[in-house]
Amino acid sequence: MDFFEQMEARIPVGGVRTRFAPSPTGYMHIGNLRTALYTWLIARSNGGTFILRIEDTDQGRYVEGAVDVIYNTMSRCGLTHDEGPDVGGPVGPYIQSERRDLYGKYAELLVRRGGAYHCFCQKQDEEPAEGKAIVKHVCACPSLSEAEVRARIDAGEPYVIRQRIPQEGSTTFHDASFGDITVDNSELEDQILLKSDGLPTYNFANVIDDHLMGITHVVRGSEYLSSAPKYNLLYEAFGWDIPTYVHCSPVMRDAQHKMSKRHGDPSFEDLIAQGFLTEAVINYVALLGWSPRGELSEREFFTLDELAEVFDIGGISKSPAVFDIVKLRWMNAEYIKKLDPEAFYAMAEPWLRQAISNPAIDLRAVSTLIQPRCEILSEIPEKVDFLQALPEYDPAMYVHKKSKTNLENSLASLEAAVPMLEAQEDWSNDALYAALSELAQNLGVKNSVVLWPVRVAVSGRQSTPGGATDLCALLGKEEALSRLRSGIELLRSL
């Protein structure tokens, strides 16, 4: 068996094999996370194999520690891989920079098969500006004789290897979400496959790797749609089977703009740092461009395992999906509500401690109060910081139409409440609520005429997690009474 036959013999046959092939950029775009998720789901929902491949051929973009970010993100999200740089597998190495020698060999093979040629033109191709048509490279190198090529290589002339695109005809390929796409070959350029330093371009490496790793479904962003015909021509020139393509539409910030980290849109890591739950993000991202069909079509909540059961390629949409942070916050709040209180406390505690250092305040009790009212964890400190220290507040807060309070009746309520509470022994929420309700009855006013001013006086806020007596119980008798007395002073000073 020659080298190429040996490589062929390694390729696993039968069964679905998918790969996520991130470049180590140091963070995970939402669009990339979605690609990873769909790729994983296609493997899992078909009982297949999921592979992680690191695409680090672009050394200019190398970011220290970025590969660890990929591992951490994948494992945090539960997107476990069956083959990859860390776990090995039959078709490794799984890091492109470690496969360097392979690409050169396959480029030479392609030249021999007529699908590529050596190009000695010194002038580098210009990168087409965004939105501009491809700048086609035209030169005489495709027609150089084998002997001429040999002589120039032997003389040490630098060269690149370019794809030989047929001049005539068209290339058609099928995409699982976009359908059949046909492109005239005349629109395709003889792209560089191997650079003069011997390193492959992404456009070449991905085809070699996907074939040699036995990938059956290539899932990637739709920005690669226009390259797919060139990849097809490469597969054909090698005589290889073409995988199923699944191109995913872009994730948009709004109707016009793609999400972009450079323009301040959050990456997955940013969302986690803001206190979104991984499970909520995964659930939300799954529905960003895929929808369940049939009887599940209205369903919004899915665990990763449930997704793995119901996911189907046919549910992937080709229309761009708009990332809606308000919807994600809502979904996150639903996930938070469903958490076991202990689990929520474990997540909330660092955020609570950011705002509250007073050891007299029972953080578990605060946690119980905020759990049903919390969209993201990072909003916890600002929701609870009044417990640590009473903020300065505007006395106008005492005036509340719905509670039927004004400055006068608020002062009267606080003046009646303080001596009564000074004598109160049971400082639990229930006992305090009963005592203040009784006071309202004795004063001949609605409960709210007592409870509203107490709430304002102890919190300096109009909206708080928990009501007046929850807050008094949390603060403890001494602190609550001191805040109520300050409220009286404030109202008297007007």
Q: Give the nearest distance from C-beta 305 to ligand GLU in angstroms.
A: 25
> How many CB atoms lie under 10 A from the CB of residue 443?
15
Q: Give the nearest distance from C-beta 220 to ligand GLU in angstroms.
A: 4
Nearer to ligand GLU (CB atom), residue 18 or residue 409:
18
- Write out the two tokens for 391: 């903020």
Spatial separation of the C-alpha atoms in residues 116 and 141, rounded to whole Å: 11
Residue in the structure block whose two tokens are 């022994």: 425
The site for ligand GLU, by CB under 6 A, has a size of 6
Nearer to ligand GLU (CB atom), residue 23 or residue 267:
23
Nearer to ligand GLU (CB atom), residue 23 or residue 371:
23
How many Cα atoms within 13 Å fall on the side-chain side of residue 196? Answer: 12
Spatial separation of the C-alpha atoms in residues 54 and 50, rounded to whole Å: 13
Q: Give the nearest distance from C-beta 207 to ligand GLU in angstroms.
A: 10
Q: Give the nearest distance from C-beta 218 to ligand GLU in angstroms.
A: 7
Bridge pairing between strands 170-175 and 179-184:
antiparallel
Looking at residues 204 to 243 of the shown chain, list those that interact with ligand GLU (rule: CB under 6 A). Answer: 206, 220
- Residue 475 DSSP SS3: helix
Regarding 85 and contact with ligand GLU (CB under 6 A), the answer is: no
Nearer to ligand GLU (CB atom), residue 223 or residue 430:
223
Can you list the positions of beta strands (E) in 75-156?
116-119
Binding part of the chain for ligand GLU, among 20-28, 42-50, 255-263, 309-317 by CB under 6 A, reads 20-28
Binding part of the chain for ligand GLU, among 16-24, 151-159, 251-259, 374-382 by CB under 6 A, reads 16-24
Nearer to ligand GLU (CB atom), residue 21 or residue 471:
21
User: Of the listed 195, 261, 327, 446, which one is catalytic?
Assistant: 261
Nearer to ligand GLU (CB atom), residue 55 or residue 279:
55
- Tally the residues of the chain: 494
**Angle between the N-to-C axes of helices 341-355 and 363-370, in degrees from 0 to 180, rounded to the nearest 10:** 110
- Specify the DSSP element, H or E, that contains 74: helix 66-77
Q: In whole angstroms, what separates CA 212 from the centre of its chain?
A: 29
Please name the residue ranges forming H helices in 363-445.
363-370, 380-388, 407-422, 429-443
Looking at residues 407 to 446 of the shown chain, list those that interact with ligand GLU (rule: CB under 6 A). Answer: none
Binding part of the chain for ligand GLU, among 15-23, 183-191, 245-253, 482-490 by CB under 6 A, reads 15-23
Binding part of the chain for ligand GLU, among 19-27, 274-282, 283-291, 380-388 by CB under 6 A, reads 19-27
Q: Give catalytic status of residue 337 as yes or no.
A: no
Please pick, from the candidates 23, 163, 201, 459, the single residue that binds ligand GLU as defined by CB under 6 A. Answer: 23
Q: Give the nearest distance from C-beta 223 to ligand GLU in angstroms.
A: 8
Spatial CB neighbours of 130, under 8 Å, sequence gap ≥ 6: none
Binding part of the chain for ligand GLU, among 21-29, 158-166, 178-186, 443-451 by CB under 6 A, reads 21-29
Spatial CB neighbours of 457, under 8 Å, sequence gap ≥ 6: 414, 483, 484, 486, 487, 488
- Smallest Cα–Cα separation from 232: which of 250, 206, 269, 265? 206
Binding part of the chain for ligand GLU, among 17-25, 289-297, 334-342, 343-351 by CB under 6 A, reads 17-25
Q: Give the nearest distance from C-beta 429 to ligand GLU in angstroms.
A: 53
Do 190 and 6 meet the contact criterion of CB atoms below 8 Å apart? Answer: no
Nearer to ligand GLU (CB atom), residue 206 or residue 459:
206
Spatial separation of the C-alpha atoms in residues 328 and 325, rounded to whole Å: 5
Q: Give the nearest distance from C-beta 105 to ligand GLU in angstroms.
A: 21
Spatial separation of the C-alpha atoms in residues 415 and 230, rounded to whole Å: 82
Instruction: Assess whether the previous peptide bond of 419 is cis (omega < 30° from 0).
Output: no
Please pick, from the candidates 42, 46, 51, 55, the single residue that binds ligand GLU as defined by CB under 6 A. Answer: 55
Residue in the structure block whose two tokens are 């803001």: 274
Nearer to ligand GLU (CB atom), residue 243 or residue 465:
243
Lay out the sheet containing 192-194: strands in order across.
116-119, 160-163, 192-194
CA dihedral sign of residues 287, 290, 295, 296: negative
> How many CB atoms lie under 10 A from the CB of residue 221?
17
Residue in the structure block whose two tokens are 């229309």: 319
Nearer to ligand GLU (CB atom), residue 64 or residue 489:
64
Q: Give the nearest distance from C-beta 208 to ligand GLU in angstroms.
A: 12
Q: Give the nearest distance from C-beta 5 to ligand GLU in angstroms.
A: 26
Binding residues for ligand GLU (CB under 6 A): 21-23, 55, 206, 220
Q: Which residues are catalytic?
A: 261
